[in-house]
Amino acid sequence: RLESDERLVYRPGHLVEFAARGFEVSVPWVGGTTVTVNGSSFAAPLVAARIARLKSLDRRLQVWDLKSL
């Protein structure tokens, strides 16, 4: 289950087809703490992680399969 701020968005036909929230993202920081940051650079790992999680459930999934979920 994904939290509402961790959802993965699919927009077919756009230059960027997969997207995730890049606003107020909680990230690990120095000393074992976390900070809240903004920016698409912080959303990219969320997209990669969600896709990896889906592929871990079925390694046969291809990109076009993920687009149809």
The pLDDT value recorded for residue 36 is 92
Q: What is the phi-psi region of residue 39: left when phi exceeds 0, alpha when psi lies from -120 to 50, beta otherwise? A: left
The pLDDT value recorded for residue 26 is 85
Query: What are the pLDDT digits (tens) for 3-61?
Result: 455 566 666 666 666 667 778 888 889 999 999 988 878 778 878 888 888 889 998 98
What are the distances in angstroms from CA 65 to CA 35, 36, 50, 61? 34, 33, 14, 6
The residues facing 64 across adjacent strands are: none
CA distance 23 to 34: 15
Q: Is the dihedral of CA 35, 9, 1, 48 positive or negative?
A: negative
